[in-house]
Amino acid sequence: MSQSVSLTFPDDSVRSFAAGTTGRDVAESISKSLAKKAVAIAIDGTVRDLSDPVTDGRIEIITRSDARALELIRHDTAHVLAEAVQELWPGTQVTIGPVIENGFYYDFAKNEPFTPDDLPVIEKRMREIIQRNKPFTKEIWSREKAREVFAAKGENYKVELVDAIPEGQDLKIYYQGDWFDLCRGPHMASTGQIGNAFKLMKVAGAYWRGDSNNPMLTRIYGTAFAEQADLDNYLHILAEAEKRDHRRLGREMDLFHFQEEGPGVVFWHGKGWRMFQTLVSYMRRRLQGDYQEVNAPQVLDKSLWETSGHWGWYRDNMFKVTVAGDDTDDDRVFALKPMNCPGHIQIFKHGLKSYRELPIRLAEFGAVHRYEPSGALHGLMRVRGFTQDDAHIFCTDEQMAAECLKINDLILSVYEDFGFKEIVVKLSTRPEKRVGSDELWDRAESVMMDVLKTIEAQSEGRIKTGILPGEGAFYGPKFEYTLKDAIGREWQCGTTQVDFNLPERFGAFYIDQHSEKTQPVMIHRAICGSMERFLGILIENFAGHMPLWVSPLQVVVATITSEADAYGEEVAEALRDAGLDVDTDFRNEKINYKIREHSVTKVPVIIVCGKKEAEERSVNIRRLGSQSQTSMSLDEAIASLALEATPPDILRKREARRVKAA
């Protein structure tokens, strides 16, 4: 056995240490202040306990300011939560407590479930435990000892977890003072390193192991950060997100609803459907000249889905369709399409295609259906039936780069029209399980890497880029486009995906310049992704204060007195003639009541008309969210609002024509 260990440090210096040296020893050899700040180490990128003996490799000393420490902080806080609960309610069984996105949770078996009122009490005890600053220490137990100890404590769920650990795998037990838990680790050095930037968020029910046949447990969710400022910012974003929740705004604005008879499918109301159609019309205009809009069937025989591979690897997410009547000769099994691509390949294959016709770009606003568990459904963001702004480009290998750049330009332009300025584009590369030769992947990834560099260069750094190794689909690499909204949340929307699989499965080909059959490159692309989800994102981004050109109801004309009703109707008609969506409110109510009511439904412009305005042929304009008002002539108001209500793509075309004519 080697008597020394060789460690490479971040500055590439190499030092030798005696075998058995711990991470803490290494930190102390650098400086006492670093040892005091250290919470863990990483050897060749794997995070380990500070007390672990080091092994040959590249070492990093992790402190609380390191991004990797956040998971440790949250993991340790979950353990402190479990200890606090058992101190306060002896006999409560602890089960599992993992770190999740934005925090952690712990599931407990308790005779009476926790309530939100219990959370402040638990938080107080957690702060006391952290203040004790007990060290985290690790022991390796035999399976027999672990079963015996947990069974004696009445921890039946822990016994089940012990039994589930594969033979030959160490059973790690972490202590914090006298309290201990079964855990893979790693942990920080002591509870005191957690700090006080944590908060318990909510309680919920959860079945043991997620199985409804098992007992119901109580789950406590929490979050933790390295700094109080980070926690405060997170809580602020949550509060903002709650105010912006598209489900609440959808009710207030009378846009849509869901009901049990149609789980995961949207009931669009008049205003909501107008907004949906505005989005579709805008996207349709953006395709003019470059794409052929097509429409493939929603219901297709399962044999087509078997050929595409969906029936094999996606069937659990598909809706099967058969004839409902008993007296029928057609006993075939059909499926609602979960994706548009197989249908588009059928359209491409219909008739011989020459290389001179490529690229062929087929677009569809296709209604697709995908099964999602009921617990995963979330308003417009996660549904079972939705509309994809889908397109498939069939091109030659040589055209692939130009097509990807053309798609990128369109995607970025669309996002900018909706006010999204911060965009991240990431390239997902080959996964372990994939179709296609390495040569095909090499070529596609090389082309897309060059495209990624061009995207960043053309944006002069405004568009951030990155690589997601191994995250590509099994059938080809892809670009993912992520937007940042008004409160800093990120939404992955657009994709550009190269596909080696479907053209081969369906035998798609074109005739090349040598009169040979050649398989085309197929590029999937979506800009909004799900139109429903994109509208949900827009509603939350603007907090319901939609830009005038997107708003489902753009103007309400409200009168102060019945003497102004005739003039109010004239104003409304003039605005409608100018292309605006207008409603009137001539009710016998106070004007402030009318304004408040229409503000709740997020009408962007309220035009107030009284006797004075009727005599002067003027209007008084109030904007949503503003206490001020602007008075102007009717003609000025019509011109101004008509311009503001014009979609940005149409404004650009007008400007281009003006410049050309000048």
**Interval 535-564: pLDDT, tens:** 999 999 999 999 999 999 999 999 999 999
Can you tell me the mean pLDDT for 307-323?
A: 88
Residue 2, pLDDT score: 61
Question: Is 80 exceeded by the pLDDT of residue 325?
Answer: no
Does residue 444 or residue 21 have the better pLDDT? Answer: 21
Q: How many CB atoms lie within 10 A of CB 213?
A: 7
Residue 375, pLDDT score: 82
75 plus 50 within the same structural domain:
no
Q: Which domain holds residue 469?
A: 256-298+337-541
Question: Is 90 exceeded by the pLDDT of residue 69?
Answer: yes
Can you tell me the mean pLDDT for 208-220?
A: 92
460 plus 534 within the same structural domain:
yes
What does the alpha-carbon distance between residue 367 and residue 99 come to, in Å, rounded to a whole number?
36
What does the alpha-carbon distance between residue 4 and residue 19 come to, in Å, rounded to a whole number?
5
CATH number of the domain bearing residue 38: 3.10.20.30
How would residue 86 be classed by pLDDT, with cut points 50, 70 and 90? very high
In a domain, 112, yes or no: yes
Can you tell me the mean pLDDT for 345-367?
A: 96
Can you tell me the mean pLDDT for 104-116?
A: 94
343 plus 434 within the same structural domain:
yes
Residues known to be catalytic: 341, 370, 388, 390, 392, 478, 524
In a domain, 329, yes or no: no
How would residue 510 be classed by pLDDT, with cut points 50, 70 and 90? very high
535 plus 559 within the same structural domain:
no
398 plus 521 within the same structural domain:
yes
Can you tell me the mean pLDDT for 169-178?
A: 92
In a domain, 149, yes or no: yes
End position of a domain, from candidates 515, 541, 567: 541
User: What tens digit of pLDDT does each residue of 375-408 get?
Assistant: 889 999 999 999 999 999 999 999 999 999 999 9
Q: If DSSP states are collapsed to H, E and C, what string results for 422-486?
A: CEEEEEECCCCCCCCCHHHHHHHHHHHHHHHHHHHHHCCCCCEEEEECCCCECCECEEEEEEECC
Residue 473, pLDDT score: 82
In a domain, 139, yes or no: yes
Question: Is 90 exceeded by the pLDDT of residue 324?
Answer: no
Residue 441, pLDDT score: 87
CATH number of the domain bearing residue 528: 3.30.930.10
Amino acid at 134: K
518 plus 567 within the same structural domain:
no
End position of a domain, from candidates 541, 573, 608: 541
428 plus 505 within the same structural domain:
yes
The total number of structural domains that make up the chain: 4
- Is 389 within 8 Å of 366 (Cβ atoms)? no
What does the alpha-carbon distance between residue 221 and residue 103 come to, in Å, rounded to a whole number?
8
Q: Token match 């709740």: residue? A: 600
- Is 171 within 8 Å of 143 (Cβ atoms)? yes
56 plus 73 within the same structural domain:
no
End position of a domain, from candidates 519, 541, 563: 541
- 266 SS3 class: coil
In a domain, 56, yes or no: yes
Task: Express as a percent the part of the chain with pLDDT over 70.
Answer: 100
Residue 433, pLDDT score: 82
Q: Report helix, strand and coil shares of the chain as percent, to nearest 5.
A: 40, 30, 35
Question: Is 80 exceeded by the pLDDT of residue 326?
Answer: no
Can you tell me the mean pLDDT for 183-196?
A: 95
CATH number of the domain bearing residue 144: 3.30.980.10
In a domain, 312, yes or no: no
224 plus 115 within the same structural domain:
yes
Q: 124-128 contacts: CB < 8 A, separation 24 or more?
A: 125/84, 125/87, 125/88, 126/77, 126/80, 126/81, 126/84, 126/198, 127/196
Question: Is 60 exceeded by the pLDDT of residue 1?
Answer: no
Could you tell me how many helices (H) and strands (E) the chain has, helices first?
Answer: 21, 33
Whose CA is closest to 451, among 498, 409, 407, 404? 404
Q: Token match 């569809």: residue? A: 364
In a domain, 308, yes or no: no
Residue 226, pLDDT score: 96
- 418 SS3 class: coil
Can you tell me the mean pLDDT for 631-635?
A: 95
98 plus 164 within the same structural domain:
yes
Q: Token match 């039936």: residue? A: 385
46 plus 78 within the same structural domain:
no
- Is 123 within 8 Å of 213 (Cβ atoms)? no
274 plus 197 within the same structural domain:
no
| Token code pair at residue 192 | 């005191």
User: Out of 73-87, 143-157, 341-355, 437-451, which region has the weakest mean confidence (pLDDT)?
Assistant: 437-451
CATH number of the domain bearing residue 563: 3.40.50.800
User: What tens digit of pLDDT does each residue of 445-488 get?
Assistant: 999 999 999 998 888 878 899 999 998 887 889 999 999 998 88
In a domain, 426, yes or no: yes
